[in-house]
Amino acid sequence: MTSRSDKWTRIAAYLADEMNEKQKQEFLLELQDNQLLKNDYDLMKNTWKQYDATPDEKYKDTDLVWLSLKDRIQSDGMMINKERNHSNSGYQRFIRIAALILLVLAIGVPSLYLSLQNTSAFSSTIERNSANGILTVELPDGSRVFLNKGATLKYKKSFEEKRKVKLNGEGYFDVMSNPKRPFHVNAGKVVVTVLGTSFNVKQLDRNNSVEVFVESGLVELSMNDINKTIILEPGQLGMASDELIMIVQKNENYLSWKTKDFKFVDESVEEILDVLKQSYHVEVVAGNVSLEGRRLTTSYKDQSFDAILSTICLALNMDYKKEGKVYILQSK
């Protein structure tokens, strides 16, 4: 085996997690002292991340992959057994290593570098959709986003150039602080810019308006079609419709869809149920009972909707039945 192909094999084996602990330690020590090895390692690591992002393609047709790998790798001086057993897990491990080597053999390190630098926006973009409920998304810079049901988030696989995402729907952002690299959220008609903070962005159906609520830090809110910017502090809510306005948010349940922490003080039962319906994405109808004039003071934390509704019904001497996803209130 040539020294060049041996180097690629060792890098690929490390990235594919096919080394034992002793081999890993030896490889990492050599990586610290060998700049050429480190350069190739960095290129292959970035390639492996892109390749690993589409696992369905990795073993799409192992026979074709095998033929390509065998021809390319043998031509570079690597010896490969002619016989192989598909049932052997070692074959799949080899494919993982050899597939990465093939990327270098096929296009060469200079072309590989250029391809990494010029990846198209389409191929490097990730889209996450919370169609089935609240979804937590870990971003490349360590920031975290909680998407409310029905929301969509788009962002680059790497934040090497800019920390920028596009949101459709509602999401709560917990952004890692980086004073040199602001974090941008594009949501409808607004752009939210922060350095490191926690805030909620919510697109509303009416007039394509957007709300931004700040829980910690400072947030800059601007609109695409007007030359105006406002700075929001913790507890403040920015609203963008025809213009930008700022108010103090007094609704203690504004973030309850995420926290599942509810506080109601002398609140109408109808309003309580509206808040719960939006947070749990359920439907509640009054059935044969009247809720007019009924009020409650209560709080809930980390409870299921069924448990909460049971306590409300107990307090109001009511009952409920469930038909599909609809809860129907009824008298006892």
Can you give the pLDDT at residue 102? 54
Output DSSP code: residue 74: H
> What confidence category does residue 76 fall into, taking pLDDT thresholds of 50, 70 and 90?
very low
pLDDT over 60 at 183, yes or no: yes
Q: Say which residue, 160 or 282, is predicted with more confidence.
A: 282
Query: How many other C-beta atoms lie within 10 A of the C-beta of residue 145?
Result: 23
* Least confident residue range of 18-32, 93-107, 316-330: 93-107
Give the structural domain span for 305: 256-331
- The residue among 64, 130, 123, 128 whose CA lies nearest residue 99 is 64
Same domain flag for 316 and 242: no
pLDDT the model gives residue 113: 44
SS3 content of the chain, % helix, strand, coil (to 5): 35, 30, 35
pLDDT band at 184 (very low <50, low <70, confident <90, very high): very high
Answer yes or no: is pLDDT of 59 > 50.
no
The verdict on 113 and 131 lying in the same domain is: no
For the segment 47-53, the average pLDDT, to the nearest whole number, is 52
Question: What pLDDT is stored for residue 123 in this prediction?
Answer: 47
Helix (H/G/I), strand (E/B), else coil: 300: strand
Question: Model pTM?
Answer: 0.62
Same domain as 262, residue 147: no
CATH of the domain at 166: 2.60.120.1440
**Across 95-108, average pLDDT:** 52
Say how far residue 186 (Cα) sits from the centre of its chain: 15
Q: Determine the 3-state secondary structure of 192 from DSSP.
A: strand
Q: Residues 113-135: what's their mean pLDDT?
A: 68
Vertex 73, ends 58 and 93: CA angle to 5°?
Answer: 40
239 plus 282 within the same structural domain: no
Distance CA 44, CA 231 (A): 42
Of the three residues 117, 137, 165, the one that is the final residue of a domain is: 117
Domain boundary among 51, 84, 117: 117
Q: Write the single-letter amino acid at 289.
A: V
According to DSSP, the residues that pair with 135 across neighbouring strands are 147
Say yes or no: 152 and 94 in one domain: no
CA-based end-to-end distance of the chain: 82
Q: Which residue is it, tokens 């309850």? A: 256
Indicate the pLDDT class of residue 54, thresholds 50, 70 and 90: very low
One-letter amino acid identity for 318? M
Same structural domain, 135 and 160: yes
Q: Does 233 share its domain with 298?
A: no
Q: Which DSSP state fits 85?
A: -
Q: How confident is the model at residue 268 (pLDDT cuts 50, 70, 90)?
A: very high
Q: Is 210 exposed, middle or buried (0-12, 13-18, 19+ CB in 10 A)?
A: buried
Q: Can you tell me the mean pLDDT for 136-148? A: 93
Under 8 Å CB-to-CB from 79, ≥6 apart: which residues? 1
Last residue of a domain, one of 117, 140, 164: 117
CA separation for the pair 150, 12 (Å, rounded): 39
Tell me what percent of the residues of the chain surpass a pLDDT of 90. Answer: 48
Q: Which of 7-21, 177-191, 223-237 shows the lowest mean pLDDT across its residues?
A: 7-21
Average pLDDT over residues 179-192: 93
Instruction: Say yes or no: 141 and 240 in one domain.
Output: yes
The amino acid present at 84, given as its one-letter code, is: R
Q: Express each pLDDT in 223-254 by its tens digit.
A: 987 888 999 999 999 999 888 999 999 899 99
- In a shared domain, residues 210 and 286: no
Give 75's Cβ-side CA count (13 Å radius): 10
In terms of domains, do 129 and 241 share one? yes
| CA-CA-CA-CA torsion sign (309, 310, 316, 318) | positive
pLDDT over 50 at 69, yes or no? no
d(CA 185, CA 232) in angstroms, rounded, equals: 15
Beta-sheet pairing, 326-331 with 283-285: parallel
Q: What is the CATH number of the domain that holds 285?
A: 3.55.50.30
Residues 6+ away with beta carbon under 8 Å from 269: 291, 294, 295, 296, 312, 316
Same domain? 325 vs 297: yes
Q: How many domains does the chain have?
A: 3
**Are 199 and 213 spatial neighbours (Cβ–Cβ below 8 Å)?**
yes
Residue 20 and residue 105 in one domain: yes
